[in-house]
Amino acid sequence: MCGVVGLFLKNRVLEPELGVLTAGMLTVLTDRGPDSAGFALYSAGLPGHLKFTLRGPKHYDFSALAAAFGVACRLHDDHAVFPVPENQEADFRAALANHPEITIVASGARMELFKGTGLPEDVSRRFGLQTMSGSHAIGHTRMATESAVTTQGAHPFSTGPDQCLVHNGSLSNHNDVRRTLIREHISFETQNDSEVAAGYLSWKLRSGAKLDEALTSALGVLDGFYTFVVGTESGFGVLRDPVACKPAVMAETDDYVAFGSEYRALVDLPGISNAHLFEPEPAKVYFWEHSV
């Protein structure tokens, strides 16, 4: 089941509304995924810094860690965003190794990633999605079918800097692909098949492929039923498997490109009545990108 959404803004005037619009799209798809939800949002970064999104136990005090690195972290419920100077990345990761209670959810120049168990509306509210701005975002509502309902198992999955993926479907060969990727030094936090898809794309991107090239390559490697929506620092991509049995609809205007598992996720977007609506074709890569 699961619900997938994505919103890529062409018009920067709309950037302050990105969080509100994304939250609305997620909430509409609650019945497709009431178990957990998550989203990744790309906003302005601080030159010379990386953003680390961390997760800790409920009411965890991140202030001591922030003070040690001389930064001001931003709290979002049990997540926190740390702007870390690029030249201190290795030291920061080493420091986190001494705090096994803290999980690195994601890192990158622009991406912030939040996820948790519960209804999509509640998850969005806990993290303050409605107040966030940025250039593009992807989100997911999960109905667990093959693994437990946990924050770790919620989407999006991030396996590389500024890279994440949400997925509706099921991969049949994820164990084989995972073993191959581990040999290529891609690490995984879960046994979830969707994380394997994210890892495969990270590996291809790390090897120099563009996002559209990585998605095209995935068609010959990943078996199963899937609709992927993928985010990078500058881009937004969509891919359905060759059978394309999972629902998907897209809308494009002069101001944005939007994706939803169902049209009802798009109905409240500005200008939707005049949008070009279409169903993404099977085994065809759709890709948009901002200049960075």
Active site (annotated) includes residue 73: no
- SS3 string, 67-120, reads HHCCCCCEEECCEEEEEEEHHHHHHHHHHHCCCCCCEEEEEECCEEEEEEECCH
Q: Answer for the pair 185, 207: CB distance below 8 angstroms, yes or no.
A: no
* SS3 category, 143: coil
CB 178 within 8 A of CB 71: no
Assess contact for 147 and 192: CB atoms under 8 A. Answer: yes
Distance CA 226, CA 213 (A): 17
Q: Which of 2, 73, 164, 245 is catalytic?
A: 2
Strand, helix or coil at 211? Answer: helix
Which tokens sit at 290? 């901002």
Residue type, 252: E
What amino acid positions are annotated as catalytic residues? 2
